[in-house]
Amino acid sequence: MFSPSPKRTNGYLEAMLVYTDGTTDYWQFPRMDRLSFTERYSKERYRKFEETLADSKFADLWPDAARYIARHAPDPSKRPEMIMLILNWSDLVRNADGSFTDLPWQSRVFYRYRVEPEDLNPQ
């Protein structure tokens, strides 16, 4: 575990959905720090998946993930047109005196996907 080096960043993913009527919505991945003890035990696989998804080496996963989110849009009465995958992160930095600091949270959109009609009703 945690080799050769543990992560030095706290982070989580979310997705922004732009509907055809121009309104927007957010799709939240399960955040371990906001779940109950029992929920986070069963949903931990999402944390692992998010870790992989945020890695550009696995960019081939992004279209599938965007399509999945489009099919599970928070508002089923609207049709999503665009999915944006967003990474939020805060670096852990070691100070000169041996203590550590969490740097402020930052965000960036790392993938945009234009949703096609067939993405919503796959065969």
Partner 1 sequence: MNAILAVWNRFFFAEQSPLPLAWFRIAYGLLVMITLLLLKPDWIPWYGTHAWMSLGTMRELEPGLRLNLFTILPQDDRCVIALFWIFLASAFLLTIGFLSRLNSIVVYFCLASIQQRNLYILHGGDTFLRVAGFFLIFAPAGAALSVDRLIRVWRGREQSEVPLRRLWAQGMIQIELSLVYLATFCWKLKGAPWIEGSALFYVFHLFELQRFPLPDWLLQPGILKLGTWSAMVLEFSLGTLIWVKRMRYKILAAGLLFHLSLEYSLNIPMFQWDMLSAYLLFVDPADLQRSWNWICVRVGPWLGKPVSVSYDSRSARTRRLVNLLVVLDIFHRLAFKPSGETGNRTSTASETNNRELILATSIGPCLGTDVRLILAKSIPLLWPLVPFCYFRTVAQSRK
Positions touching partner 1 (CB under 8 A) are: 1-8, 10-12, 31-33, 37, 40-49, 52-53, 58, 60-61, 63-65, 67-68, 71, 92, 94, 98-100, 102, 122
Query: For partner 1, which is the closer residue by CB, 65 or 115?
Result: 65
Instruction: Report the residue number, 77 or 95, with the smaller CB distance to partner 1.
Output: 95
**CB of 44 or CB of 116, closer to partner 1:** 44
The DSSP string of the chain is ---S----EEEEEEEEEEETTS-EEEEEPPPGGGS-HHHHHHSHHHHHHHHHHTSGGGGGGHHHHHHHHHHT-S-TTS-EEEEEEEEEEEEEEE-TTS-EEEPPPEEEEEEEEEPPHHHHS--
Comparing CB distances to partner 1, the nearer of 26 and 58 is 58
Nearest distance in Å: CB 43, partner 1: 8
The residues that bridge with 11 in the sheet, in sequence order, are 89
Q: Cβ 22 to partner 1, closest distance in Å?
A: 27
